[in-house]
Structure 1
Amino acid sequence: MRAVVTVQTPGQKAGKPDQIDLREGESATFGSCTCGQCDLDLALDQQATWFTGEITATAGHWLLTNLGPIQTLLVENLENCYEYLTVDPGRRLAPVPFELCRVSAAGRASGPHLTVFGPEPKYAPVRPAPCAAVREAQPALNPQAAYFAVLRTLCEPRLRGSASSPLPTSEQIARRLGSYMTVRAVNAHIEYLTDKLRLTRGCGREVLVETAIRHRMVSLEC
């Protein structure tokens, strides 16, 4: 049976990162340790916040148990910076659907962490026919509209980077989209999008970008 989950620690000074491959049903414990005596399958040799847990592999996802009494674990989807979940101290077998993610101590952005490569997603081969009495949902936004080009350009740094990547200014967006787009038009499109998505006027571009990415209204493939 081949491995379905791979767990890695950060690269050490001496060489490659430590790694464990788990097959379905197998588990591995992890945690921060500097004494070298802790009974862990993967030890994070760093002078930082102490935390510990266990990862269990399954066919379609993986399970995370928080073995610590105090520290909450944070699981961040590395393929979508707006998707994450937390696992409280003592919580057992919390399901994690992310294919590629980072596990760390919540509230410790620069602390030790693990990278987990989860199982590939499974899809139903055949979908049932939709109910004839229910209308098919239409996209919230028109990908062919000028306002969509503005939104995609506004979101692009976050789609390519992290949730803290700086957003482009109206002038930068207008320059990126070409001569047909002015700074005034960019601002007008952003106000239109705020109203169309029923956001509070004046909420700011951060809220607009977070809403669009979280609800999968825009992507790099659009």
Structure 2
Amino acid sequence: MYTIIVVPGPGMAPCEKLRLAPGETLRFGREASASTGAQTLLTIPHDGVSRSAGEITATDTYWSLSNFSRAATYAVENPEGAGEHIKVAPRRLGAPVAFEFSRVVLPAGTDLLSFDVWAPRHDYAAPAEGAEQPERPGGPDGAGRRGRNEPARGRGGEPTALAFPLDRSKRYFTVLAALCEPRLRGEPYAPLPTVEQVVERLRPCWPAANRAAVQWNIDYLAVKLRLKPGPDSCEPGPRLNGKKEMLVSLALRFDLVREDDLAAPAFCAGGGGR
């Protein structure tokens, strides 16, 4: 049973997909050699790549990357993660990678070379009978909007408090989604939209949108997500620079906004209220 599929980049040999079963390895580099004991080889004919650059090892639920370079750090990007990535330092062995879809990026002279790795679909534990169900913060099923005095399903007692109680029907969420949109659409290093660009993006579903209203929602999000103290706090807190960048970084890191939110009715309809 194959669990890992490696998709070579342009000019690499072989050019077809390579499949690894649990326990199998793939050695890659400028002159990857069968004498290393690797069961599969990927040749990257570029003089900026080490002769023996690294190795991939397949397991049941993830894969690991070894970096044999003495100087180059490799990056493993999650193309679906809006900039999520890990770094594998020179000479690091067996760094685990848990992304379902990954892009291994190798610095090679003035070029950046890459190949893709497809891993097994992630498995999730089924909730035990009677246990409190896991919730996605503020999800469309109503999770995160239950009142404090409403009973939790399953076991008795108070429900688990959500870390980031966002309501996707509210206008502040459409502003947050608009800020995250460029990076969610596959441009992980895209600059964030300006306030004026957010206004233009949301005007079809929020005709009254203007700069002041969008900025107010950004300030509200900074308080709601606890990046700055609220107006009733005794501590005014320091001036918050880079507020939009901090909001987007937090939202994408904890999946508060996902790509499917950009197609949701709440994002197109603009929501109501705050």
Task: Please give the TM-score of this superposition, normalised by the length of structure 2.
Answer: 0.70
Structure 1: gaps (5+ residues): none
Alignment of 1:2-41 (within 5 A): 3-12=2-11, 17-31=15-29, 33=30, 37-39=31-33, 41=41
Q: CA RMSD in A?
A: 2.6
Cα deviation per residue 1:41-97 (whole Å; 9 max; x = unaligned)?
Answer: 101122334371111111111121222333222211111033211222332222110
Q: Which amino acid letter does the alignment assign opposite residue 146 of structure 1? A: R
- Determine the structure 2 residue equivalent to 1:89: 90
- Determine the structure 2 residue equivalent to 1:159: 184
CA distance in 1 between counterparts of 2:181 and 2:189 reads: 12
Go from structure 1 to structure 2 and tell me whether the alpha carbon gap of 1:68 and 1:172 turns closer, same or farther (over 3 Å shift): closer
2:3·2:59 contact (CA, 8 Å) conserved in 1?
A: yes
1:98, CA displacement in angstroms? 0.4
Go from structure 1 to structure 2 and tell me whether the alpha carbon gap of 1:109 and 1:63 turns closer, same or farther (over 3 Å shift): farther
CA distance in 1 between counterparts of 2:15 and 2:26 reads: 16
Aligned residues: 216
Cα deviation per residue 1:90-134 (whole Å; 9 max; x = unaligned)?
Answer: 322221100111112369894222211111111223346136455
- Determine the structure 2 residue equivalent to 1:44: 44
1 or 2, which has the higher strand percentage? 1
1:188 aligns with 2:216: yes
1:86 match: secondary structure: strand
73-82 or 142-151, which moves further after superposition? 73-82
CA distance in 2 between counterparts of 1:169 and 1:86 reads: 30
1:10·1:18 contact (CA, 8 Å) conserved in 2?
A: no
CA distance in 2 between counterparts of 1:107 and 1:156 reads: 31
CA distance in 2 between counterparts of 1:180 and 1:86 reads: 44
1:18, CA displacement in angstroms? 4.1
Select 2:250's aligned residue among 202, 211, 214. 211
Larger Rg, first or second structure (1 or 2) = 2
Structure 2: gaps (5+ residues): 35-40, 133-154, 229-239, 262-274
112-121 or 62-71, which moves further after superposition? 62-71
